Amino acid sequence: MSDLYTAPDLYDLLSDGVPGDVAWFGRQAKAAGSVLELAAGTGRVTIPMARAGAKVTAIELRESMLDAAAEKLAREKPEVRKRVKLLVGDMRGFELKRQFPLIVIPFRAFQHLHEVRDQRACLECCREHLTRQGRLVIDLFDPNLRILGANLDVNGSAARLFGEKPLGKDGRIVAMSSRVSCPEEQRFEETIVYEKFDAQGNSQWRRAHKIHLRYFFRYEMEHLFELSGLEVVKLEGGFEGQPYRHGGEQLWTVKRA
């Protein structure tokens, strides 16, 4: 079964990010003027940051995701288009020969780095590309112990509703997901089954994709930042001014130590 990022159309259907994230990144990018975005996907955050007036360099591993971003960008006004540079690349190792006042890794993309060596490689690369006063922003989910605990069955968790999208007279798409957990490695694999129904409720097709995520505890992140030559500026609990709390969001802002 292929991973979700081989299917940018399905990714875009139900991946709305974290509440408030697009506007928040837009404001940060506008204030910084120039931003490096890692794991940019289909441009969900990239394009709004450029619309807000920032120059955006966006790196993404999968060509299929970046092609979808390029298609969306082609529909933007010329002044927005010329502010964006889309690059295929790996956040674990890139060399742009310049520094940025702002680097962002939105929507938990850092959680695709399962190994400590990959996490450190990414953070060290970010450090090299940050200006002296520059900021790196990373958004993660905070591991919710109740949810993690409920998903420990070796046969996988029960399915839950992942999302639903009405398509007007064309019916709707419903997505269900289930998880297989590996608590020893702080990871789980989520299988998402997308099913299209016509307006009468008849199933027309079904497609399944996987995502494989690592989760990080708060103090683990603090240690990782320190090991990578970075210093925590603040930890917030979301994009709408929430304080950090268990099971919410980890919104990290860090700088060069």
Ligand X SMILES: C[S@@+](CC[C@H](N)C(=O)[O-])C[C@H]1O[C@@H](n2cnc3c(N)ncnc32)[C@H](O)[C@@H]1O
Q: Which of residues 62-81 bind ligand X (CB under 6 A)?
A: 62, 65
State the number of CA atoms in the 13 A half-sphere of 169 facing the CB.
0
- Tokens of residue 155, six digits: 């046969």
Question: Least Å distance between CB 7 and ligand X?
Answer: 11
Could you tell me if 246 and 219 are in contact, meaning their C-beta atoms sit under 8 angstroms apart?
no
Task: Determine if 44 is a binding residue for ligand X (CB under 6 A).
Answer: yes
Task: Determine if 104 is a binding residue for ligand X (CB under 6 A).
Answer: no
Query: How big is the site for ligand X, counted in residues (CB under 6 A)?
Result: 21
Binding residue for ligand X, selected from 67, 76, 90, 124, defined by CB under 6 A: 90
Integer Cα distance of 103 and 32 in angstroms: 10
Task: Determine if 179 is a binding residue for ligand X (CB under 6 A).
Answer: no
Task: Determine if 41 is a binding residue for ligand X (CB under 6 A).
Answer: yes
CB atoms within 10 A of CB 168: 7
Task: Determine if 60 is a binding residue for ligand X (CB under 6 A).
Answer: yes
b/e sequence 12-44, b meaning 16+ C-beta within 10 Å: bbbeebbeebbebbbebbeebebbbbbbbbbbb
Q: Between residues 51 and 108, which has the closer beta carbon with respect to ligand X?
A: 108
Question: Least Å distance between CB 182 and ligand X?
Answer: 18
Question: Least Å distance between CB 185 and ligand X?
Answer: 17
Q: Are strands 187-197 and 84-88 parallel, antiparallel or unpaired?
A: unpaired
Question: Least Å distance between CB 75 and ligand X?
Answer: 17
Question: Least Å distance between CB 201 and ligand X?
Answer: 30
Phi and psi at 146, nearest 5°, equal -65, -45
**What is the SS3 assignment for 151?**
coil
Task: Determine if 209 is a binding residue for ligand X (CB under 6 A).
Answer: no
Integer Cα distance of 53 and 29 in angstroms: 8
Task: Determine if 91 is a binding residue for ligand X (CB under 6 A).
Answer: yes
Stretch that binds ligand X, among 55-63, 143-151, 225-233, 246-254 (CB under 6 A): 55-63
Task: Determine if 58 is a binding residue for ligand X (CB under 6 A).
Answer: no
Which residue number places its CB atom closest to ligand X? 41
DSSP state of 248: S
Binding residue for ligand X, selected from 83, 112, 135, 179, defined by CB under 6 A: 112
Question: Least Å distance between CB 230 and ligand X?
Answer: 18
Distance (Å) of CA 46 to CA 25, 100, 161, 235, 247: 9, 15, 28, 23, 27
Binding site for ligand X (CB under 6 A): 5, 15, 17, 39-41, 44-45, 59-62, 65, 90-92, 106-109, 112
